[in-house]
Structure 1
Amino acid sequence: MTTTPSITPYQLVGGEQGVHSLVDRFYFFMDTLPEAHGIRLIHQKSLNGARDKLFKFLSGWLGGPDLFVEQYGHPRLRMRHFTFQIGTSERDQWMFCMNKALNELPLDPEFRQNLSLALQDLATHMINKDE
């Protein structure tokens, strides 16, 4: 019996190039859109470090090379984001930029929606301030 290897979300996004495109567009929107002003303020002036870490995290999270873990260890996302005040507004701004970036990738609409929902759950998990 032969088995067909399953296709990962990483492959569906377009592999390394697709993840880079997603992250680049995400940070472009964060850096330029007034709707993302609040989330932009909690980042450093240069987004290069954040861009690199998000690329490495998403690579592994989507089922590709586990670059973040190889370099930094377990993501421990809530702990790593605890120093930033993240509420629903910041989560919504993050998702606004992420959804705009996702919409620019040539993705199957159902996959795009499922990916957006998974990222929404991840972003909601980062909320750490009472409102």
Structure 2
Amino acid sequence: MQEQSLYILLGGETTVTRLCDRFYELMEQVPQFATIRALHPANLQSSRDKLFMFLSGWLGGPDLYVKHIGQPMLRRRHMPFAIGEEERDQWVACMLLAMESTGIEQPLRERLLAAFFSTADFMRNQPGTTQR
């Protein structure tokens, strides 16, 4: 029996859309995420769309990012931004809150959190917390 993808386990397009929407709502509203919010454009719609397309494929669903934009090359695409431990931790905390508030069950949330942390840590291009 073939294991279901994380995309299917999450609830597919509907849940991934809700997760991305909630992630950027939290980033916009919660002062704790001001540092990562400042790395994004004023209008977050493009960022939401890109995260949704990326997560769809990353979670085992349709490979929308590759189809519409090309290979993710995440580290390369994030190099123009100073990403240290603070930015990594804010991103992960924001995603954790988004997962909790969209009702992703704890076992799946924990599994995703480990993968999100690993990916976010890979994006770091600063030796530690960025200097202000």
TM-score past 0.5 threshold? yes
Equivalent residue, structure 1, for 2:81: 84
Equivalent residue, structure 1, for 2:117: 120
Structure 1: any 5+ residue segments left out of the alignment? none
1:47 and 2:48 correspond: no
In 2, are the aligned partners of 1:57 and 1:75 still within 8 Å (CA)?
A: yes
CA RMSD of aligned residues (A): 0.9
| Letter of the 2:89 counterpart | D
Structure 2: any 5+ residue segments left out of the alignment? none
In 1, are the aligned partners of 2:22 and 2:102 still within 8 Å (CA)?
A: no
How far does the alpha carbon of each residue in 1:7-48 deviate from its partner, in whole angstroms, 9 at most, with x for none?
110011110000000000000000000000000001000000
Equivalent residue, structure 2, for 1:59: 56
> TM-score, normalising length from structure 1?
0.94
Which of structure 1's runs of 4+ aligned residues deviate more than 4 A? none
Q: Percent identity?
A: 45
